[in-house]
Structure 1
Amino acid sequence: MTSHIHPSAVIEDGAQIGIGCEIGPFCHIGPNVVLGPDVTLKSHVVVTGQTEIGEGTVVFPFAVIGEIPQDLKFKGEETRLVIGKRNRIREHVTMNAGTEGGGGVTRVGDDGLFMAGCHVAHDAQVGDRVILVNNSALAGHCVIEDDVIVGGLSGVHQWVRIGRGAIIGAVTMVTNDVIPYGLVQAPRGELDGLNLVGLKRRGVARSDITAMRAAFQMLAQGEGSFMERAKRLGDETESAYVQEIVDFILGDSDRSFLTPK
């Protein structure tokens, strides 16, 4: 197979175009861009900077991928954006390269859906199968683990971590870390329970869900501080899912946690 490139597309010297790519009208691809096999750029897409896009990813019109960070500390250093396989990047999405102070790489995993108008800022680390709903935004240095859903018109504060399988409701501002499988809603982001629907859809055993619900209650109402409850929970649990929550809470973070009410 060969790539199909519309005559109006601008591809600068040095760009690497994989086998089977489809590049539509009026796209602009910079000299340091690497497109994997079967990448599709619909039309009017800008891909620039030191950017890699993985196999089978589709980018829709007017997305801007790999531009410099929206960070006043950025001084033109060489940084990167790495996007994985089979992502769907919809209209007007922006994804920025990293900064030297943040590790130099913004990274997006595989099989994500980034709906219209989403923003992924510098140095964010986004896992697999993540969904950002329309006009949601990740600030710099965020860590979004696998299988997270961020609702429409929501914002995630810089340096925040969102654990695997969590869900953020629409029109929510998330300013603190979210435990794995957490459910966050309300305008100022409150931890309101567990993402039980997501757990059931993934086929998590009833025994594990029961253990997680008990763990959530202990984190909400047990004795001692939130961290003390988490440590005690880690000593007592036999559930791998509960242990994942404990490990997340006890891990390194620059933010505090959204805690259960």
Structure 2
Amino acid sequence: MSIHPSAKIHASSVIEDGAVIGAGCEIGPFCLVGPNVTLAENVTLKSHVVVTGRTEIGEGTVVYQFASIGEIPQDLKFRGEDTRLVIGKRNRIREYVTMNTGTEGGGGVTRIGDDGLFMSSCHVAHDAQIGDRVILVNSVAVAGHCHIEDDVIIGGLSGIHQWVRIGQGAIVGALSMVTADVLPHALVQGPRGELDGLNLVGLKRKGVDRDDINQLRAAFQMLKQGEGSFKDRAQRLSDDFDSAYVARMIEFVMGDSDRGFLTPK
């Protein structure tokens, strides 16, 4: 066990032998920190938090009451292999959130980026890869092997099917079930997660240049029509646009997809 002298640990909490507790950490009452856990500097566990498994939590992250972090995957194929959960810096992980370690078949690591907000009762399953500045609103469920890129917002009570990719800057409305890949900067809404345009509000808030937004809108319209498959139409966009945002959209469509794509209506 390694506990930095500046760490503050409530007397009712249990820190198992082998855990590493960094400088400035604060561990409130009735927490459990397992033997293979590493807490970087200034991590806060509010109270009644369980952190177990081979789990790393980055600097400045705050975990709220009754969260369960680093427990084994909810996967019947899991046989106790040595897998990990890696959480980045400055995340806010709210009440009753669950995040599981990876599986051998999925790469062995569930990974959370920096500066995320995971609201009450969210679930991040085994082998999911979550980018930076992602917001999961209350009770979102992200299934195994999903890839959620940077700056994505997923509305409350939504479900993301296993293996789905959601591109950078996309927004998913509340109460949506997303079963196919979502283009970068796209807007998805409706019970069955239909692609309903671009996340224009998010693009404007980010300060994206008007010309880039106009090019994205034109590219999106061209994806809706024309000959060939969805990937064929995406590939042809490279001849008509010089925006880095359109280029990222093309790159995303041309990447490996296990679930296909939500396509424009």
Could you state the TM-score of these two structures normalised by the residue count of structure 2? 0.98
1:218-229 map, 5 Å: 218-229=222-233
What is the distance in 2 between the residues matched to 1:13 and 1:41?
Answer: 18
Query: Is 1:194 matched up with 2:198?
Result: yes
Residue 163 (structure 2) aligns with: 159
What is the distance in 2 between the residues matched to 1:57 and 1:115?
Answer: 14
Kindly state the Cα deviation for residue 236 of structure 1 after the two structures are TM-superposed: 2.3
Kindly state the Cα deviation for residue 223 of structure 1 after the two structures are TM-superposed: 2.7
Task: Please tell me the residue identity of whatever aligns with 2:168.
Answer: R
SS where residue 224 of structure 2 aligns?
Answer: helix
Residue 33 (structure 2) aligns with: 29
1:163-200 deviation digits (Å, cap 9, x = unpaired)? 00000000000000000000000000000000000000
Kindly state the Cα deviation for residue 227 of structure 1 after the two structures are TM-superposed: 1.1
Kindly state the Cα deviation for residue 225 of structure 1 after the two structures are TM-superposed: 1.9
Aligned sequence identity (%)? 76
Kindly state the Cα deviation for residue 22 of structure 1 after the two structures are TM-superposed: 0.3
Kindly state the Cα deviation for residue 235 of structure 1 after the two structures are TM-superposed: 2.7
Kindly state the Cα deviation for residue 7 of structure 1 after the two structures are TM-superposed: 0.1
Kindly state the Cα deviation for residue 129 of structure 1 after the two structures are TM-superposed: 0.1
1:1-261 map, 5 Å: 2-261=6-265
Kindly state the Cα deviation for residue 99 of structure 1 after the two structures are TM-superposed: 0.1
Q: For this pair of structures, how many residues does the alignment match?
A: 261
Task: Please tell me the residue identity of whatever aligns with 2:31.
Answer: C
Kindly state the Cα deviation for residue 224 of structure 1 after the two structures are TM-superposed: 2.4
What is the distance in 1 between the residues matched to 2:141 and 2:36?
Answer: 26
Greater Cα offset, 158-167 or 227-236: 227-236
1:12-42 deviation digits (Å, cap 9, x = unpaired)? 0010000000000000000000000000000
What is the distance in 2 between the residues matched to 1:123 and 1:23?
Answer: 27
What is the distance in 2 between the residues matched to 1:14 and 1:110?
Answer: 25
Aligned-CA RMSD value: 0.7
1:208-242 deviation digits (Å, cap 9, x = unpaired)? 00000000000012332211110100232201000
What is the distance in 2 between the residues matched to 1:188 and 1:222?
Answer: 25
